[in-house]
Structures are given as structure tokens and as C-alpha cells.
Amino acid sequence: MDSPNITSATATELIESLQSGSVTSVEITQAYIDRIKAVDEKVHAFLHLDEEDMLSQAKKSDQRRERGELLGQMDGVPVGLKDVISVEGQPLTAASKILENYISPYDATVTRKLKEAGAVLGGRLNLDEFAMGSSTENSAYGPTRNPWDLDCVPGGSSGGSSAAVAAREVPLSLGSDTGGSIRQPAALCGVVGMKPTYGMVSRYGLAAFASSLDQIGPFAQTVEDAALLLETISGHDPLDSTSYPSDVPSYSAEINLPLEPCKLGLPREFFGEGMDDEVRKCIEQAINFYQAQGFEIVDISLPTTDLSVPVYYVIATAEASSNLARYDGIRYTSRSERAENAIDVYAKSRGEGFGEEVKRRCILGAYALSSGYYDAYYLRAQKTRTLIRNDFDQAFTKVDAILTPTSPTPAFRFGEKSEDPISMYLSDIYTISTNLAGLPGISVPCGFTQSGLPIGMQLIGQALKESNLLSIAHVYDREHGYGRKAPNL
């Protein structure tokens, strides 16, 4: 295999080539490193790249292969990680200045699982600071650009993870999704991105944004690759009390089993105003495809849809205000040089170390939890969250999965929404309720605009039924494979 073939291949294809001996992990890893060097100046998906370490991991994988001692199916395949996932000995900045000099002394559980599967951990991927944002413009280290149009955002917060896969800088990557942070950038960059059921993937080692919503998930060119990566990182973890004690099926095998056509729901509240016409057109084509395959399309209602954005911004900011308190300039975070007393250390280190959006959300969240306001904001938001979850429970008595656009618009231009937080918050309107209900959701590329920007459709499944959701997505992706199309860079 030559370099262009390597970097355009899917992970599944790379695994086949590794198995047949037509390529080594060192060759694969080197090809990606070369690609990163060639295109990342434009894309800026990476915050940190440890070439030597990657090649040494690849070499060890090749040696294991020679000895016939492979660790797992992903042995030798590179995976990029969003810079909120801990890897022992590697930096973890969360794209914040406050963690500029922090090196993680331990592995996240997903990191350990990838290492145990033999994956080559390659590079730290850019994001909105502490995963707060929908455009990756909030990174303290500069934005990531959309590989399909460098003047457009890649989405966020996992914009580095989606752009790196789209730009063919890695075959697979991990992101985290709190209100759409995997699915929205996947849609905007034309790749597959999935948020599993809350509790399917351990959060241990993931720098927390909003603990009750955060979930790690995969990015890939295809649903099949996403299934492969997901089954590698899923499973119960005794180090995460919110992790489900359930077995992990082999998703990558199950999606290739024959699937009986089932019922797909279209929530009418999602198809109202605010949706871009080209997005609508692509979604309608996808609906037609499923219908032609024998799927039944059902009109459903999720009446609390309009409450999800406000509920989310109370719960997520409340949890964040507490989760981010540890970044205080006392221990491992950068301390302000202007600090003259203890209060200064807190106020100035945090004032200088955090960006505007992070400060905005910490203040909002602290306010929502304040005595006298708790009942009106946090408690009421939690109650409304239950209503949102009930809506989905109700819907799933009628349908097997829900089909919606992932994002109301294709990728927008830099600066277009960054001055207006509310319009930025609304770009997650289709994805947020999934997190509030703890359900799995996947974004699958479903076409392009006339100007060549990717469009994604979202499928939302029932809790813990990842296998079913992936299978439904695979039916479409296997036929269309929009994610296999690469941008010209």
C-alpha cells in the first residue's frame, strides 16, 4: 500500500491490509504523520503530536504481529484523541491556557482499553476550551478549520477530532459529546460520529464538562469503523460509578447481520422553522431511501423539544461551574504571576487562564446553583429533564429509532456566530435532547450542499441498543458512503 491509499482507507481496510501483510503499522503510522505534516498547517486539528512515541507504538505492534501475539483487532491502527482524554505522560490542555503545562500522570479508561487493543495512540486533537462550544473557535490555541472549506468552522466542540478524520490525518478518533459535541462536528465535516448511551463508555480520565451529560464516542469515515472503535472502548468500568454493568456486543459483526426493516420516527417539532433548505432536501432523500428499503416512516411528537436548549444550559453550566473549580492555580494549573494573595491566586489565575465562553458558563452555572435560585433554575431544569426523557420513552413505544437532521445548517463561517452566544447555542438544537435523555445518537453523512459542504443526518436510538442503531445507520451508509469522500486539501 502506498501513502495516499493508506490515508484514504477505512480502519476496516487497514486492518485487512495489516492481516494480509501488505502493510505494516509503521508504514501506516508514518503515512499519517506525513499527511499531518502536509495538511495540518491548514486544518489545525492537532494540538500536540508525539511522532517518536507513535512510531515506537507502531513498531511494537509490528513486532507483536510477527510473533503472532496480537492484542486485539485494532492492533497497529492509529487513533487520535480529543485533548480532554488522559494519556499517561502526554499533555492534556482541554484547549485551555490554564492547563498549558499539565502532563497527565494516568490513563483514562478508554485510553487503557485502546492500549490493550494494540491501537497506536496518535496526537491530541483540538476542541472548544473544556468542550464548551460548537465551532472550535473557543480553543485557546487557535481554531480548527473545516477541511471542506477552510473559511468555515468544523463544528464543535470536538472539531479537531472530526476535522482530523475528514482531512485523513487519522483513520479514527475519539471525541466527547455533552450536547452534540461529537455529532454536530461530524455532520459539519462529513464523517460519522456517535454518542453512545450515557454510561456505555467510561468517563474515567475524561476532563469533565457536565458529568451527567458527557459521553466519549468515536469518529470514523464509516458506520462500520465507528462500530469497531465503539466496541473497543465500551463496557463497565468499576472506576466510573455512572458506568452501566452490561456486556458489550460485537457491534462491527452485528451490523452486518440481516436487518428487518423497522419503524423510524420523524419528530415534527424538529422539522419546523430554522432548518436550512439544502439540509432539508438531503434529509428527505435519506427518508425516501429508508422508505424504499421497506422501513416505515412514522410521524411522532416530542413536545418538550423547545425546552431542551434552556434546560441544557442550566444543567450543563451548573455542573461545569463545580467541575471546573479544581482549575484554580494552586496545584497543577497555571498560577497568575500577578497574584499577591490567596484570593488573587484564584481570581487572577482563573481570570487569565479561562477564555470568555468558559467564564460565561461558570458564572451562569454558579448563579443557577445559588441559594434562593436553586429551586427556580437547577431543580426546575432537572424536573423538565425528566419530562424530556418521558417524551422519548413515549416515542419509542411507537418507533425503533428517530431520524432528524444533525444540525440545522451546514458549516458556518468563522465569526458568524461567535459574537452571539444564543445563535451558537441553537446550532445544537437537534442534538441536545439526546444527551438530556441519555440516549445514543449517531450522525451519518447524507450528502453535500451545492457549494460542497457536508450535511449529516442524526439517528437516535433506545438506551443500550447501540447495536440496533448502528445497524440502521449502516443500512444507509453501506449504500451511500458519503463519509468516504475526501476533501481536496
Partner 1 sequence: MKYEAVIGLEVHVQLNTQSKMFTRVGTGFGQPPNTLTNPVVLGLPGALPVMNLEAIEKSIKVGLLLGCKIAPVCKWDRKNYFYPDMPKNYQISQFDQPICEGGEVEIEMPGESPAVMGSHRKVQLTRIHLEEDVGKLSHYDSDSLVDYNRAGCPLLEIVSEPDLFSPDEVFAYLTSLRNSLVSAGISDCDMEKGQLRCDANISVRPVGTDTLGTKVEIKNLNTISGVRNGVEYEIKRQTKAMLEGESIIQETRRWNPEQKYTTPMRTKEMAHDYRYFPDPDLMPVKIEQDWVDRIQKELPEKPFDKQRRYQSEMGLPYSSTSALCGDRPLCEYFEQAATLTQVPAKVANWVVNDLLRELSHTREGDNPTSEKITLDNCKVSPQSLAELVSLIENGTISNNVAKELFPEMFSTGKSAKELVKEKGLEMNSDGDEIEGLCAQAIANDPDAAGKFRGGKEGAINALKGAVMKATRGQANPKVVDDTLRRLLTS
Which CB, 46 or 244, lies closer to partner 1? 244
Which CB, 7 or 202, lies closer to partner 1? 202
Which residues are at the interface with partner 1 (CB under 8 A)?
84-86, 92, 94, 99, 102, 104-106, 108, 203-208, 210-212, 238-242, 318-319, 321-322, 325-326, 328, 330-332, 342, 346, 366, 369-371, 374, 378
Which CB, 51 or 328, lies closer to partner 1? 328
Which CB, 145 or 203, lies closer to partner 1? 203
Smallest separation, CB 196 to partner 1 (Å): 17
Smallest separation, CB 469 to partner 1 (Å): 24
Which CB, 8 or 382, lies closer to partner 1? 382
Smallest separation, CB 94 to partner 1 (Å): 7
3-state secondary structure the chain: CCHHHHHHCCHHHHHHHHHHCCCCHHHHHHHHHHHHHHHHHHHCCEEECCHHHHHHHHHHHHHHHHHCCCCCCCCCCEEEEECCECCCCCECCCCCHHHCCCECCCCCHHHHHHHHCCCEEEEEECCCHHHCCCCCCCCCCCCCCECCECCECCCCCCHHHHHHHHCCCCCEEEEEECCCCCHHHHHHHCCEEEECCCCCECCCCECCCCCCCCEEEEEECCHHHHHHHHHHHECCCCCCCCCCCCCCCCHHHHCCCCCCCCEEEEEHHHHCCCCCHHHHHHHHHHHHHHHHCCCEEEEECCHHHHHHHHHHHHHHHHHHHHHHHHCCCCCCCCCCCCCCCHHHHHHHHHHHHCCHHHHHHHHHHHHHHCCCCCHHHHHHHHHHHHHHHHHHHHHCCCCCEEEEECCCCCCCECCCCCCCHHHHHHCCCCCHHHHHHCCCEEEEEEEECCCCCEEEEEEECCCCCHHHHHHHHHHHHHHHCHHHCCCCC
Active site residue 359: no
Smallest separation, CB 443 to partner 1 (Å): 25
User: Which candidate in 86, 135, 139, 157 is catalytic?
Assistant: 157
Which CB, 208 or 300, lies closer to partner 1? 208
User: Which candidate in 61, 162, 176, 181 is catalytic?
Assistant: 181
Active site residue 82: yes
Which CB, 30 or 242, lies closer to partner 1? 242
User: Which candidate in 82, 113, 195, 417 is catalytic?
Assistant: 82
Smallest separation, CB 435 to partner 1 (Å): 12
Smallest separation, CB 325 to partner 1 (Å): 4
Catalytic residues: 82, 157, 181
